[in-house]
Structure 1
């Protein structure tokens, strides 16, 4: 419903408007509010901030229509006004336009012309609202999507690459905040969200610093993927950096004595990269799947506080670059033989 404020000291205009627009009022297409001058109009707008259009006379006591236009330009710059006046000389028209009037109609009112003008003004107002909404949505989107991704979305390669599925060689890392589920059950939701977001920011910064990217957030855990040259080495470097930074969280970032610790699982190998999800639900996640991903998640499950756990295959690749300690073997679902695991120390 469009709310229209009619500002005129001629009280019989209210009756006339209600008669001429009775169909639109009955169908709840328009809702009309009335004010007798500019001062009254500003009070009505304060009380009804959702007013879409102002129809205003010029010659009124206390505050005339031209002064009201100036006030509205400062107070409600997006609110569009149409002057409806018997003073239709060029000087008044130019003054009204210079002060922000969207259009000008002369009295006696031609109601067919008024209806067309109202519809035109509504359409323009909706265009402004849509533009502002798009700007806000874009700014919100930037909070969730990397700027490089947004730029890529606007390129001709977007659809082709988005739909491409491929087998890649990469490293997957799962990071979990140990004991966070328990603390989240005893503190306010806002505090929990603020705290976990602080920890996630620390992790994300270190992962990106080592040219990894965030695949997803899973509750109080992060899944990251590293591709390209030395992807396993970079993943381990990122894991060590995350552990060190989380261990340095100061008292101001701690909650009720809870000092965050992380457990990390890392696995390198072949995996499938593509759009996974439900097309009918229109929820697809561009992610990686496969045994390598599942193993990384199981390694994280096996890791304790402050532990970075890798399998033997990964250990053999990085044993000269990182100091590791063998933890033993773990049994994994759907694996016939136990898996030898190592802890990365430094």
Structure 2
């Protein structure tokens, strides 16, 4: 059996309660309607505050203490969800217009035509049900978007939420790609309980992901301790390369802060390697309708991964391609100018899996384990 619809009757005429109770006695006995009665607007406000189940009001205009039009204005200002049907002998056009402008659903004149009143009530209740369904769907969509945000970056959530089809068109465009991981993670994890490994990864991902999102990046995937981030996936602009480079600098600064905390608590400092590249890539969904992934693939992505691995050989936490430096230098901000000014040309470097070498840049002031001397 469905829950009763709660209706508040606000009218100071003593015979109204008897008329309503008599007319709708079958609906009340069947549990369809549940009526409560008050005599003025102030009593109505108290009833609404104490009973959140009230869906509909039958509201007179001329009442002592607080009239019906004043009550409507108060409810409108409070953005109350309850709907009101005016039931009044004052059915002149100015009163009708004022009531409707203040949010009344409809107007029934006295003496009350009970058939007309019931039809009007059911119309109002149908409207309330429609509005509740819209709100339910909106809330469900917000929950779904929030759940997506637990697993995808904001840029990717926006892309996924706007789609009606699971697979979007594949496109080719320039993107900045950043790979980062913890130095020596495999050896470190072998010495730790699995629960502590997961805690470490969560702490690492949380700090690094915050920097990626702060600079407009998208986390494409986590692979163990490694993070693949892209810049320019949702929308391409002239700042993608610069934002990737600034993000890398921010990630290293975040690692310094975390290492200070770790050392203070008796834990070892961690190192990180970051490789950044810029160039064309193919962007789209891969997989099946049952399980799919939004991904970025191509030589640009592979080279960024190889640069990240090369940080071990060159003993630097940050290794960026010449394409990133050139793209970032086209319109740099002050912060980016300082980052670019620190970079040193590392010359042409052989990269595993590529026939041609890659010109790279690094920061000579940075060592692999930390950017802060003394740690």
> With structure 1 as the length reference, what TM-score do the two structures score?
0.60
Alignment match of 2:285 (pick from 270, 275, 288): 275
- 5 Å matches for 1:76-87? 76-87=79-90
Counterpart residue number, 1:313: 351
Distance 1:286 1:104, change over 3 A: same
Alignment match of 1:106 (pick from 104, 109, 119): 109
Counterpart residue number, 2:51: 48
- 5 Å matches for 1:115-126? 115-125=118-128
Q: Is the 8 A contact 1:202 1:245 kept in 2?
A: no
> With structure 2 as the length reference, what TM-score do the two structures score?
0.56
Q: How far 1:317 sits from its partner (Å)?
A: 3.7
CA distance in 2, matches of 1:217, 1:153: 24
Alignment match of 2:91 (pick from 84, 88, 93): 88
CA distance in 2, matches of 1:137, 1:255: 44
Higher mean C-alpha deviation, range 89-98 or range 212-221: 212-221
- 5 Å matches for 1:223-234? 223-225=228-230
Q: How far 1:17 sits from its partner (Å)?
A: 3.6
Counterpart residue number, 2:72: 69
Q: Is the 8 A contact 1:175 1:262 kept in 2?
A: no
Q: How far 1:71 sits from its partner (Å)?
A: 2.3
Secondary structure of 2:111 counterpart? coil
Q: How far 1:248 sits from its partner (Å)?
A: 5.0
Q: How far 1:306 sits from its partner (Å)?
A: 8.2
Q: Is the 8 A contact 2:269 2:369 kept in 1?
A: no
Kindly provide the CA deviation profile for residues 125-147 of structure 1, in whole angstroms up to 9, marking residues without a partner as x. Answer: 45656379749967995986439
Q: How far 1:45 sits from its partner (Å)?
A: 0.7
Secondary structure of 2:211 counterpart? helix
Counterpart residue number, 1:327: none
CA distance in 2, matches of 1:88, 1:145: 53
Q: How far 1:215 sits from its partner (Å)?
A: 1.7
Q: How far 1:47 sits from its partner (Å)?
A: 1.0
Paired residues, number? 311
CA distance in 1, matches of 2:226, 2:29: 55
Secondary structure of 1:313 counterpart? coil
Q: Is the 8 A contact 1:202 1:242 kept in 2?
A: yes
Query: Structure 1: which 5+ runs fail to align?
Result: 187-191, 325-342
Counterpart residue number, 1:146: 155
Q: How far 1:247 sits from its partner (Å)?
A: 3.6
Query: Structure 2: which 5+ runs fail to align?
Result: 190-194, 321-348
Distance 1:67 1:225, change over 3 A: closer
Kindly provide the CA deviation profile for residues 233-277 of structure 1, in whole angstroms up to 9, marking residues without a partner as x. Answer: 879845741443314548999998489856346497998743235
CA distance in 1, matches of 2:69, 2:38: 15
Secondary structure of 1:215 counterpart? strand
Distance 1:70 1:235, change over 3 A: closer
Distance 1:7 1:172, change over 3 A: same
Q: Is the 8 A contact 2:259 2:269 kept in 1?
A: no
